[in-house]
Amino acid sequence: MSSSIHMAAVRLIYEQHHSWLYGWLKGRLSSTSDAADLAHDTFVRVLAARNAGQIRESRDYLATIARGLVIDRYRRRAIEQAWLDSMAAMPEVLVVSEEEKALIIETLMAVDKALASLGARTQKIFMLTQVDGLTYQQAADQLGLSLTSIKKHMVRALTECSLVMAEL
């Protein structure tokens, strides 16, 4: 699809549906500025997809993109709050710049996404060993699995996390 056709289609979708999308997002979010941000981000995704001329059900398409962005926003805020809570619980408060905070949150989001793709058992094993501090043997005993099985799951989880870290 040519760039001019794509841009014309995006412009038309924007003119016809932006106010609806903003209202739809406002109904789901507690902040009008968040709704405006996510409406903008939705159209940025439409622009990047370069398929605007092929969209038949504009509102469904926009709502699908926006729904994913809302979920991402809630997930990010939950991860950020968990990190802030863990920082507050530390005996010595570290001063972290906004840039460092953004990098840490971005890294945590990437690891969360990687772990979400692994399956429930691998996630559970990773959390038990890496967050709760159990040894592999303790995790095996708790879950009723062999030590070899725990090791295989951890190799998979750590490989995924390493791949994510390499991309950052």
CA 128/CA 134 separation, integer angstroms: 6
Q: Which pLDDT band, with edges at 50, 70 and 90, does 55 fall under? A: confident
In this prediction, residue 1 has a pLDDT band, given cuts at 50, 70 and 90, of low
CA gap 27, 30 in Å, rounded: 8
Residue 93 has pLDDT above 70, yes or no: no
Residue that is written with structure tokens 């939705």 in the block: 42
Quick one: pLDDT at residue 57?
Answer: 93
**Read out DSSP for 108-163?**
HHHHHHHHHTS-HHHHHHHIIIIIS---HHHHHHHHT--HHHHHHHHHHHHHHHHH
CA distance 79 to 76: 5
Q: Which among 115, 148, 118, 155 is positioned nearest to 140, based on CA atoms? A: 148
pLDDT for 119-159, tens place per residue?
A: 899 999 998 998 888 999 999 999 999 999 999 999 999 88
Q: Give residue for tokens 């999308």.
A: 21
CB 113 within 8 A of CB 164: yes
| pLDDT at site 161 | 84
3-state helix vs strand vs coil in the chain, percent to 5: 80, 0, 20
* Closest residue by Cα to residue 67 from 77, 56, 75, 79: 75
Asked whether the predicted pLDDT for residue 33 surpasses 70, the reply is: yes
